[in-house]
Every structure is written in C-alpha cells, then in structure tokens.
Chain A
Amino acid sequence: MSATSAMEVSAVYEGYQADFDRLQDGGDMPGVSAPLKLLRQKAMEHFGRLGFPTTRMEDWRFTSVSPIATRPYALGALAEVTTDQIVRFLIPELPGALLVFVNGRLSVSLSETGALPPGVAVQCLGDALATGLDTTEPCLVSLGTEGEQPFSALNTAFLQDGAVIRIDDGVVLNDPVHVVFISTAPGEAVVTHPRVLLLVGENSQVSVIESYAGLRDAGYFTNAVTQIEAGAGSVVHHCKILRESLQSYHVARMQARLARNAVVTSNSITLGGALVRNDIGVVLDGEGAECTLNGLYLAGGKQHIDNHTTIDHASPHCASHELYKGILDGDGRAVFNGKIIVRLDAQKTDAKQSNKALLLSERAQVNTKPQLEIFADDVKCAHGATVGQLDEDALFYLRARGLGREEARRILIQAFATDVLNRVRHKPIQMELGRILLDRLPTIATGETA
C-alpha cells in the first residue's frame, strides 16, 4: 500500500471514529441505552481490528473495495423526503405494511404499517429495543462482534435504526412487509448502515421485501445487514430489490438461521450500484430445513456485481436449491461464489446449485466459483455453471419468424431473466421487476460491443 493511500485510509478510519463518538453521545437521537452503547463499542473495536478487506483475501480476490475504503463518508442523517420522490421505488398494487427509511432513519410520515394481525410486530429498531428486544440477542451480537465480517461489524457499530419484524409462533402474515431504504444522496458522500431483523416464530409464515434505492445519481455508500431467524416449521420469503444509483456502493450481508423444518426462500435482484457485494450466509440448523436462493443481476457499463453465498448444511435431511443468473454488458464485471458446506453428520443432504451468466459484450467478465466442502458421505450435491452468449440458433429462429434483430435479442434476454423473476413470490413484484428490466435493457443490450 502506498504512503498516500495509507494516509487516506487512516483519515477514513478517523472519520468513522468521529461519527461513532458523536453517535455514542446521542447524536440526533438521544437516550441511547447503555447495553446498545456497549454493543456498538464492541463492534467498533472489532471493526478496528479487522479493517476493510483487501483483494489479498480469498473472499475478496475479485472485488476491490478501495472506493469505499479510501474515501470518507459522512453518516447519513434524516432528511425531508416526499411520497412523490419515492413513489417510483414502491411496488404498485402490493398490499401489506410499508416501512420507509431515509438515509438509514425511519420516516414515520412515509411509512404505513396499517392494521397488523395480533402476534405481528413491525417496528423500527429503537422501538423494538424499548419493547423487549434484547441487545444480547445472539443474532445481534454474533455478526457484529465475532467472525471476519468487517462490514457487518461497522454496521453494528452504527446500529441506530432499522426494521425489526417479529412474528409470534403460529402466525401467518399473508400480506408482505416492504422495507424501503432510500438514500437522498446529497452533495457530500454519505454512508448508511441499514439493518433488518426478521424473527419468525415456530410454524409462522411471513414475506419481506427489501428495496434499496437512491434519489440522485451519486457516490453514496450503503452498508446493510439483514438477519433472519426462522423458527421450526416456519416459512419465510425474502426478496431484495437493489435499485441503487449507478454510481453508488452497496455492501450487504444477509444471514439466515433455519431451525428444524423451516423453509426460507431468498430472491436477490440486483439492478443498480457501481460496486455491489451481496453476501448471503444460510445455516440449515435443524433437520428437514430447506432453503432456496435465487439471484438475478444486471451488470452494464462499468458496474461490478459480486454475489457470495454460503449454505451451511449443519443438520441431516436438509435441502438447498440455488439459481443465480447474471446479464453482463459493456465493461460489466461480476463475481459469483457459491459455497456449500455439508457437515459430518448432515447425511441425506440434497444440495443443488446453478449459476448462469449471459455475456452480451466481449469486454464483460464474470468470475464464477462453486465451492463444495463435503464432510458427510450420504449426500446429493450438484452444481453447474455456464457462461455464454445469446444462442445464435434461437436468434435466427425468432428472426425467421419476422422479429427484428433487436427485438429478438430483447426477447431472449428477457427470457433468460424471467426464469428467475418468475420465482419471486408476489405477482405485483414480478410485474414491476419485469418492467424495470425492460427499462434497463435498451441501455444494456443494444448488441453494440463498443
């Protein structure tokens, strides 16, 4: 590391420390409880020990976070935002509760939780802590103060606001909960640390959508953490829609722990961001648990999209299904790393992983790596990766039926993506994602490799 960048980095750390100190003093949200302060303190120290990752680390080999690590970002503050400004990030005709966070802080005026059934709590973190959520919850502590996740530690150090969704045992919430994180992206570079906590009781059912978006095209930084605790026999649908500005940086970790017979589905749709790193970690922690991870990303221009998933088969008779698809154009770069761990006693594991990348330009690149670590002997594990261009035979077939070249390309690209979009649970979301995709395609898929 050169002397200049070492200085830059140290200035960056000092910036975080100064914002951290202000936050601990109460910042613009006074009345911080002692346990929360302690948790943050531990996390900040942990982050200090870990530091930002570098490409010398195996998990970050293909993704440099230097635009994040060498630049100071001011902690985002609540700003006045109108419904008109965010309406394009909402999903038409999607029922259910809506929580809107602006620069990481809950906007009460934009949020609408409506009448929730008994046994369901949809709150901001502050309220949740005030009404019984314990800062010593393992799910809050472990990510921020243990392990090798510097960004999660940083997120925990700045734990302030966020969405907490708690479902009691035996409660079925039919309508989804949509949590929207908006960055206003003012002139200065701003960081937010969104946190979503989804605690699902036994035999309960819930669907949560997280959307991330920016109001302006600017270089802000979003550092998000989502934690899902899926109780025995619960059914959880999670969908993340990333529509950040094309100049922004987004790092996110989703951690899910599944108890016996829990079923968790995650759909991760990445349509924005200059530099995106999505980490998903799933622990199948009880017999018969099942997870499905689907992903779709678009990487055009100079976008860099990195998806890392880890599925830990820690119990017998668990199943995992994974399908990630990417569309790359221009100088787009993508990374897919899919790790599957099958522990010694996780017999009868059934794990399937597939990832496919469609390269529309000669300069687009994808680094894809399945990583299977199997310690049990009676398991089924299958993985496959394909990287390719549009099928020339299919293109000719469509053209021979009268469809123009551009139209034929568009149809084939859409078909490639629809495969994943159709797995998203709610029809209004499918429709909206289809529409967004269509909007993006003219800029991503002109067929020009210039």
Chain B
Amino acid sequence: MLEITGLHASVGGKEILRGIDLSVNAGEVHAIMGPNGSGKSTLAGILAGRTEYDVTSGTARYQNENLLDMEPEERARAGVFLAFQYPVEIAGVNNAYLLKAALNEVRKHRGEPELDAIEFMTLVKKQLAVLEMSPELLNRPVNDGFSGGEKKRNEIFQMAVLEPKLAILDETDSGLDIDALKIVANGVNALRSSDRSTVVVTHYQRMLNYIVPDFVHVLSGGRIVKSGGKELALELEEKGYGWIDSAPEEVKA
C-alpha cells in the first residue's frame, strides 16, 4: 500500500526527516508516535502533498506509484486521505457542498457515476449517525464556528464518506474529550478492512486504546528509532519518550 524508503525532508534548509523507512501493507494500522518536534506532522504533510517541505532524498510509493510526483488532489482521488491536525475554516463554503464535490471527484477517478443529491444524502446521513453529528452541521460553512472537537469529528466524517484506501490521521485525538474520542475511534474502526490501511500519528497512547494498531513506530529526531507491536505504545505511555536511548537531539517541526 505505502512504501517509504530513506525519506529525507527539510523546511527552510533545516532537515526535519532524516531517513524514514516505513512499509504499510493493506489492512494494517500503523501508529507513529513521538515527542513534539520529532517530525510526525511533517511526515503526514508530505504524504498528503504539502508543498512547504523539500524532499531532499528518498521515495514514497503508494500502490506502486510515485506518491511524491502526484498533486494533492491526485493523491486524494487515488484514495489517500489526511485528517488534518488543524482543519481549516472556510467561511462561505458549505460543508455538504465540499463533501459532495470531493466524493464525486473520488468516484470519477474510480470510474463510478456521480451521486445525485438524494443518493448523496442517504450516504451522508448514515455516516453522520455513526459519528453522532447533527445533520445541521452539513449546512454550515466548512469548520467555520466549529468547536475543536467538532472539527476533528468532521474530518473523520469526511473520511467515512470518502472511504479512502490509505487514511493518515494527524493528531486526531488532540482536543477531544473521552466521549468524542470514542466516537471518532468508532468511525475509524468502522472503516477498517483488509484492503484499507491507516496511519495514526499521535503524541499520546490514549487513542490507541480504541484504534488498536498492528504496529507502533517511534519517531524521534526525524528517524524511526523503534518499532514494535501495540504493547510498545503502552510502554511509551508508562515511561515517556525519555527511555529511548537512541533518540537523537530534538528537531523542531
């Protein structure tokens, strides 16, 4: 599904990723954990197509295609979804309008017919219920006036509707209370299947109680310094990041 090899990236001349190797197979959930400034969000941003980072060397292949050569919209249409750490408020753009446009782009790419308004609403209402969101949110501007929790839920709601092949969740747990966290996790888990993969980027182990990963990687100083199973997350939670001997010096993301 996703094959990252020797990925180096910098911003403004400062190196942030220093050789990431990561292989994510279909059906797997990978958690990428690490302290602030370890490069977690940089990695998520590069995978989604943010342009403020310079990839200096290495490759990222998605479904055997060069992901880094694709425009952000091409990645999205091909099934890559980034749940933003900070979802953007867009006044004047209706939430439902954006979602319908996005869904139809994805469907066009898959060679499926576009949905009409009724089909779209049927699909959307089902997912709204899963995420316990008020249908009224559909008619509000994208993230505009949403609480932090509503924004995060809206990200996962979009993901549920778009049904990506590779979902990247960037700190989706931050700002969520435990009830909202469970709801979001339900949404993510509902999407788990043998042909989809999820990369969960998080600082805390908390969300991994609900979205149980197959693999946990610790990112520090722009490198993956440790990989293991789900028990690694618990160990990190218990001992903090300090015990990882090989952690290189702090690098600001």
Check if A384 is an interface residue, CB within 8 A of chain B: no
Q: Which of B79-136 contact A (CB under 8 A)?
A: 82, 84, 87-88, 90-93, 98-99, 101-102, 105-106, 109
Check if B50 is an interface residue, CB within 8 A of chain A: yes
Point out the residues of chain B lying under 8 angstroms from A402, CB to CB.
Answer: 73, 76-77, 101-102, 105-106, 109, 162
**With A393-B88, A394-B88, A403-B73 known to touch, is A415 a contact of B93 (CB < 8 Å)?**
yes
How many residues in B have their beta carbons less than 8 Å from beta carbons of A? 29
Whether the Cβ atoms of A399 and B90 lie closer than 8 Å is: no
Whether the Cβ atoms of B82 and A400 lie closer than 8 Å is: yes
As a 0/1 sequence over residues 395 to 409 of chain A, the CB contacts with chain B under 8 angstroms (1 = contact) are 011111111110110
Whether the Cβ atoms of B106 and A415 lie closer than 8 Å is: no
As a 0/1 sequence over residues 376 to 401 of chain A, the CB contacts with chain B under 8 angstroms (1 = contact) are 00000000000000010110111111
Point out the residues of chain A lying under 8 angstroms from B200, CB to CB.
Answer: none
- Chain A: CB-nearest residue to B107: A402
Whether the Cβ atoms of B93 and A399 lie closer than 8 Å is: no
- Chain A: CB-nearest residue to B97: A411
Whether the Cβ atoms of A400 and B76 lie closer than 8 Å is: yes
Q: Which of B154-173 contact A (CB under 8 A)?
A: 158, 162
Check if A419 is an interface residue, CB within 8 A of chain B: yes
Partner of B84, one of A391, A397, A403, A414: A397
> Which of B84, B88, B158 gathers the greatest number of chain A CB atoms within 10 Å?
B88
- Chain B: CB-nearest residue to A404: B73
A408 vs B88: C-alpha distance when bound (angstroms): 14
A401 vs B161: C-alpha distance when bound (angstroms): 11
Point out the residues of chain B lying under 8 angstroms from A405, CB to CB.
Answer: 71, 73
Whether the Cβ atoms of A397 and B88 lie closer than 8 Å is: yes
Check if A416 is an interface residue, CB within 8 A of chain B: yes
Chain A interface, DSSP helix/strand/loop, else mixed: helix
A402 vs B162: C-alpha distance when bound (angstroms): 10
Check if A77 is an interface residue, CB within 8 A of chain B: no
What's the least CB distance linking B85 to chain A, in Å? 12
Point out the residues of chain A lying under 8 angstroms from B48, CB to CB.
Answer: 400
A394 vs B93: C-alpha distance when bound (angstroms): 10
Whether the Cβ atoms of A412 and B93 lie closer than 8 Å is: yes
- Chain A: CB-nearest residue to B82: A400
Point out the residues of chain A lying under 8 angstroms from B109, CB to CB.
Answer: 402
Point out the residues of chain A lying under 8 angstroms from B158, CB to CB.
Answer: 401
Point out the residues of chain B lying under 8 angstroms from A401, CB to CB.
Answer: 76, 98-99, 101-102, 105, 158, 162
A397 vs B155: C-alpha distance when bound (angstroms): 11
A405 vs B92: C-alpha distance when bound (angstroms): 18
- Chain A: CB-nearest residue to B164: A402
Check if A430 is an interface residue, CB within 8 A of chain B: no
Check if B6 is an interface residue, CB within 8 A of chain A: no
**With A405-B71, A407-B101 known to touch, is A399 a contact of B91 (CB < 8 Å)?**
no
In the assembled complex, 26 residue pairs joining A and B whose CB atoms fall closer than 8 Å, in A order, are: A396-B50, A398-B93, A399-B73, A400-B49, A400-B82, A401-B98, A401-B101, A401-B102, A401-B105, A401-B162, A402-B77, A402-B102, A402-B106, A402-B109, A403-B101, A403-B102, A405-B73, A408-B73, A411-B98, A411-B101, A412-B93, A414-B92, A415-B90, A415-B91, A415-B92, A415-B93
A residues at B contact (CB < 8 Å): 391, 393-394, 396-405, 407-408, 411-412, 414-416, 418-419
Inter-chain pairs besides A400-B84, A402-B106, 17 sampled, C-beta below 8 Å: A393-B88, A394-B90, A396-B51, A396-B72, A398-B90, A399-B49, A399-B73, A401-B101, A401-B105, A402-B73, A403-B98, A403-B105, A404-B73, A405-B73, A407-B101, A416-B92, A418-B92
